[in-house]
């Protein structure tokens, strides 16, 4: 493999890994804190991209997407809180909460997908790049938008880590995730932490959808395939480990880029699944998960 081909593979893997890390981190955050899988996470991505498109393009606002992103983030935070209060909170403490919330969040996913199609129609749409132009990276020329994704993803994830580690709300979320009953005993409002967690997850999904929508055409099902990848990454990295999820996302992004180059785009997903199954056979707890005695 030539140096140029290796550089192109590395950059492609970093772009994929950056997208995967941001979309899977929100899913992992909900699982770590609430112990449920949010199947509406993928459609949150599509909705965030459509809201940004409406503000920036359909409304005729020639912006650098800054206002559009801000509006989308605010909308997604409110939507996350609304979903948590209406389809998750009523089932807290029930024995079958995990199964029930699978059904309720799947219902939200289908409802929102059909809502997107009714509001914006089936026609494909294109979200303008946040950063336009070309840049040179590792000796190859890529779009400035791809370079922006490589740079912004670690910054967003670092901000999430700092929020969870250094703020009182972040520490409350971590405490509730570890032991909600003990957290309540020391005065932490567990219900409020759950709502904030859903809001954070929805914001991460919406922002990821904006980045992905600037590389692909917008469709109501924009987040369907990324949702499957996000589930794989959360399991592969280790259930309940946000750091493991982020590490797994970049590993999978690089492996997928290598497989696309070697076995082709058609066979890459199958080969990726075979590799993941082989790893999980050796480490059922995930690549970075802790082995339980």
More confident residue, 21 or 223: 21
What mean pLDDT comes out for the span 60-86?
A: 75
Q: Is residue 174 packed enough to be buried (19+ CB in 10 Å), middle (13-18) or exposed (0-12)?
A: middle
Instruction: Report the C-alpha gap between 252 and 267 in whole angstroms.
Output: 15
Measured between alpha carbons, how far is 80 from 200 in angstroms, rounded to an integer? 8
Task: Pick the closest to residue 10 from 151, 131, 138, 155 (CA basis).
Answer: 138
Cα–chain center distance at 260: 22
At residue 156, the pLDDT reads 93
pLDDT at position 67 is 59
Average pLDDT rounded to a whole number, residues 29-38: 89
Q: Report whether pLDDT(163) > 90.
A: yes
Residue 146 has pLDDT above 70, yes or no: yes
**CA 194, CA 212: separation in Å to the nearest integer?**
27
pLDDT of 2 reads 67
Whether residue 60 is predicted with pLDDT greater than 70 in this model: the reply is: no
Spans of all domains in the chain: 3-282
What CATH architecture does domain 3-282 belong to? Orthogonal Bundle (1.10)
pTM of the model: 0.89
- Residue ranges of alpha helices (H) inside 167-241 are 168-178, 180-185, 190-213, 224-237
């Amino acid at each position: 493999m030539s140096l140029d081909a290796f550089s192109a593979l590395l950059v492609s893997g970093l772009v994929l890994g950056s997208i995967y890390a941001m979309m899977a981190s929100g899913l992992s955050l909900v699982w770590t804190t609430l112990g449920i899988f949010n199947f509406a996470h993928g459609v949150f991505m599509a909705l965030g991209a459509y809201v940004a498109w409406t503000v920036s393009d359909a409304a005729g606002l020639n912006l650098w997407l800054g206002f559009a992103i801000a509006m989308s983030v605010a909308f997604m935070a409110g939507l996350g809180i609304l979903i948590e209060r209406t389809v998750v909170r009523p089932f807290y403490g029930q024995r079958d909460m995990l199964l029930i919330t699978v059904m309720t969040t799947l219902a939200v996913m289908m409802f929102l997908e059909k809502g997107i199609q009714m509001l914006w129609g089936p026609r494909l749409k294109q979200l303008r790049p946040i950063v336009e132009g070309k840049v040179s990276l590792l000796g190859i020329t890529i779009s400035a938008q791809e370079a922006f994704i490589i740079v912004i993803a670690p910054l967003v994830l670092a901000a999430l880590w700092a929020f969870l580690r250094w703020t009182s709300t972040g520490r409350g979320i971590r405490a509730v995730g570890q032991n909600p009953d003990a957290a309540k005993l020391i005065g932490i409002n567990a219900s409020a932490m759950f709502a904030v967690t859903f809001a954070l997850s929805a914001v991460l999904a919406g922002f990821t959808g904006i980045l992905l929508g600037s590389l692909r055409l917008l469709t109501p099902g924009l987040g369907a395939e990324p949702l499957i990848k996000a589930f794989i990454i959360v399991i592969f990295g280790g259930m309940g480990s946000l750091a493991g999820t982020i590490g797994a996302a970049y590993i999978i992004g690089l492996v997928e880029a290598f497989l696309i180059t070697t076995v082709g785009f058609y066979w890459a997903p199958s080969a990726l699944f075979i590799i993941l199954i082989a790893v999980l056979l050796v480490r059922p707890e995930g690549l970075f998960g802790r082995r339980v005695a």
